[in-house]
Structure 1
Amino acid sequence: MTAPHFDVLGIGNAIVDVLARVEEDFLVTENLHKGSMNLIDAERAEYLYSKMGPGIEASGGSAGNTIFGLASLGGKPAYFGKVANDQLGEIFAHDMRSLGAHFNTPPLVGGSPTARCMVLISPDGERTMNTYLGACSELVPDDIDESVVANSDIVYMEGYLWDKENAKNAFRKAARIAHEAGRQVSITLSDSFCVDRFRDEFLELIQSGQVDMIFANEPEVKSLFQTADRATALNALRRDTKLSAVTLGSEGSVAISGNETYHVKACKVNKVVDTTGAGDLYAAGFLFGLSKGMELERCAMLGNFCAAEVIQHIGPRPEVDLRQAAEQAQLL
């Protein structure tokens, strides 16, 4: 049976987020580096959960957030990610399907529970993430539905997935199928600490042509090419990738393709409440625009717009209908 057409297929860690506000002192006491993503075991997860204040639970994961944003814009997405056959897994699957995404990855039975991430939000809106991967790290090549990949315009993978060998092989399989079908393959570098762990492998993915498109923020791309200079990092991206989109915080973002460079200013933000999901929603806007044949500058504008919306409230997913909001802003 042939799968229907999808704009974007996200491949990522299927995680339920638990978001809570904390003071700076909490991070110091618990020896947490502000802004980092830490992989933790089940015992550490239970400990941090017991020490956190009241939290908000929401289905998340980096690529999952991107798929949510893309659906809110009116796109047709699909998602591959592993959950367990438990209550949190059922919640995650229901959330994905209710937003209109195709999600049919078989759940893990009799193994680790569904993944969860404690997102600690500092007073300045910065987020420090502590992730218990659980079942999501059990994504394997057999979970890659070839017909879904072949019928997706763009495959998008999160760098966080790169911590397990089976998941790496699953992505490589998806990339091969996508390219054989004439589709595009993209990756987000996810976190500068993630880049530090897998720099050589990420560079090999890019330089070998397994990946066509890179999403990153400024610290991540500097880490990738081991430079403190923005221009040097961007020029390296220009040399090694067909298309790159780099977020620059309050300076907006830059899209690079060959000799083309578009630096697009950030959208106005009344107050930064929580930066969780900013890069994920930027990718949602950019990928939606790209899948609809928009010019790169307009793709970056739409990415900036989506990122600006999500950082003005707690949580990694938009609180408004993004399509309606973008139409009012005359971006669609």
Structure 2
Amino acid sequence: MGAETTAAFVAVEAPVIVGLQPSALVDHMARVDWSVLHIPGETGGSLPVAIEELEYILSQVKIHLQSSNGQSPLKTIAGGSVANTIRGLASGFGITCGIIGACGNDEQGELFLQNMKYNNVNLSNLIAKKGATAQCVCLVDGTGNRTMRPCLSSAVRLQADDLRGDHFRGSKWLVLRYGIFNLEVIHAAVRIAKQEQVLVSLDLASFEMVRNFRQPLLELLESGNVDLCFANEDEAKEVVRGEGEGHTDPEAALDYLGTRCKWAVVTLGSKGCIAKHGNQVVRVPALGETQVSDATGAGDLFASGFLYGLLKGLSLEDCCKVGACSGGSVIRSLGGEVSQENRHWMYKQMQINGLSVPELGL
């Protein structure tokens, strides 16, 4: 791949959903024992690190895995919240999807390209640039909870002035993930998407991102340009923290988000989710019995199912149910990509709950 060239994958027509991931990213996944592995920072959530810190963490993880009997090896896969969501929509639900972003001309970049292409994601707007592809270390403990340490600062990145109207024209939804490093390109993407009459979906990324950069997020939400917002329970609490006593529960956050976005969803892990659309509020329990192997991608794949439901005109409750089935499928194994076995589990859960299965799942 040469500098500033576009990946050779030409679309016949605009994807129904496009995802903005300014930096293509690969995940280094591993199961770890936190009692013997000591990594700086809090466990849980996502905290950006420099390349030197990422390499140090990887070295410590490799030493840890070599000395731990029965531990899974390090697994490297294409990742990133937006990539997880659109890959889930394309491979699991048959929705035409594309990704807008930049990819490095290195080994990690090639891995990302091949994985997205294999899962039928349109790559015509993924620009190849000379430089490094973003990486993230994802450490999963014995309960399935994950701690992420992404390295984005040294990676190639799509800039705001790289965006054009034809990146969005003809699509129905734009999928975004909040991030302070990408704030300029996010604002540009939202502005152009609205000009092209494309709906905008925003994921709140992590509780640390919301806590540390809350004001720019609130300004984005207050703009009225975000049509759909996804937050997990911890992120939701950070959104409304400081609003006064009694305002830090998920319901208060849902109300806040739901008065600024057409749709708002707060996922509650094993307790299911709550969602709001206009004056309607629903609470949907987690569906299907499943052992949490790795929570990575649970929110991303929930978004895949929920967006699929919206595209199919399902009720708010049924959108949540499809999201629950989809999110439940990815937590059954390591990583943010749904295996064929777990995809069939998802289709079975959809049938049990009276939901129509995509034609490709029949």
TM-score, normalisation: structure 1: 0.92
1:20 corresponds to 2:40: no
Aligned to 1:309: 329
Q: Looking at CA atoms only, which structure, 1 or 2, has the larger radius of gyration? A: 2
Among residues 282, 296, 305, which one is paired with 1:262 in the alignment?
282
What secondary structure is seen at the aligned counterpart in 1 of 2:16?
A: strand
Aligned to 1:105: 126
Which amino acid in structure 2 is aligned with residue 280 of structure 1? Answer: D
CA-CA distance at 1:175 after TM superposition: 1.4
C-alpha distance after superposition, 1:6-64 (max 9, x if no partner): 2211112421001011112245x223311121211111111111111230110001111
1:124 corresponds to 2:143: yes
Q: Cα distance 1:60–1:88, how it changes in 2: closer, same or farther (>3 A)? A: same
CA-CA distance at 1:143 after TM superposition: 3.2
1:192 corresponds to 2:207: yes
CA-CA distance at 1:168 after TM superposition: 2.3
What secondary structure is seen at the aligned counterpart in 1 of 2:144?
A: coil
Kept in 2, the 8 Å contact 1:105–1:143? The answer is no
Percent pairwise identity = 34
Which amino acid in structure 2 is aligned with residue 319 of structure 1? Answer: S
1:82 corresponds to 2:99: no
Kept in 1, the 8 Å contact 2:100–2:167? The answer is no
Kept in 2, the 8 Å contact 1:8–1:76? The answer is yes
Aligned to 1:176: 191
C-alpha distance after superposition, 1:219-242 (max 9, x if no partner): 111101114223322222222222
For 2:128 and 2:118, the matched residues in 1 are separated by 18
CA-CA distance at 1:326 after TM superposition: 4.6
Q: Which runs of 5+ in 2 are unaligned?
A: 1-9, 66-72, 242-246, 357-362
Kept in 2, the 8 Å contact 1:80–1:143? The answer is no
Among residues 44, 56, 60, which one is paired with 1:51 in the alignment?
60
Q: Which runs of 5+ in 1 are unaligned?
A: none
After superposing on structure 2, the runs of 4+ consecutive aligned residues of structure 1 that deviate more than 4 Å are 134-137, 321-327
TM-score, normalisation: structure 2: 0.84
For 1:177 and 1:273, the matched residues in 2 are separated by 39
User: Which has the larger share of helix?
Assistant: 1
Kept in 2, the 8 Å contact 1:214–1:241? The answer is yes
Structure 1 vs Structure 2 CA RMSD: 2.0
For 1:190 and 1:251, the matched residues in 2 are separated by 20
Q: Cα distance 1:322–1:25, how it changes in 2: closer, same or farther (>3 A)? A: closer
Which amino acid in structure 2 is aligned with residue 213 of structure 1? Answer: L
C-alpha distance after superposition, 1:181-219 (max 9, x if no partner): 222111100101010122111111111112111011111
Aligned to 1:42: 51
For 1:168 and 1:289, the matched residues in 2 are separated by 28
1:298 corresponds to 2:318: yes
Kept in 2, the 8 Å contact 1:4–1:148? The answer is no
For 2:173 and 2:99, the matched residues in 1 are separated by 12
CA-CA distance at 1:136 after TM superposition: 4.7
1:225 corresponds to 2:237: no
C-alpha distance after superposition, 1:149-190 (max 9, x if no partner): 12211101011xx232xx323222221222222221111001
Which amino acid in structure 1 is aligned with residue 288 of structure 2? Answer: K
For 2:150 and 2:160, the matched residues in 1 are separated by 23
Aligned to 1:202: 217
Aligned to 1:163: 180
Aligned residues: 325
For 1:137 and 1:215, the matched residues in 2 are separated by 27
For 1:211 and 1:272, the matched residues in 2 are separated by 31
C-alpha distance after superposition, 1:242-261 (max 9, x if no partner): 21011011111112011111
What secondary structure is seen at the aligned counterpart in 1 of 2:148?
A: strand
CA-CA distance at 1:306 after TM superposition: 0.8
Which amino acid in structure 2 is aligned with residue 31 of structure 1? Answer: P
1:141 corresponds to 2:165: no
Kept in 1, the 8 Å contact 2:51–2:154? The answer is no
Which amino acid in structure 2 is aligned with residue 81 of structure 1? Answer: G
Which amino acid in structure 1 is aligned with residue 59 of structure 2? Answer: S
CA-CA distance at 1:86 after TM superposition: 1.2
Aligned to 1:277: 297
Which amino acid in structure 2 is aligned with residue 66 of structure 1? Answer: T
For 1:87 and 1:106, the matched residues in 2 are separated by 15
Among residues 6, 11, 20, which one is paired with 2:15 in the alignment?
6
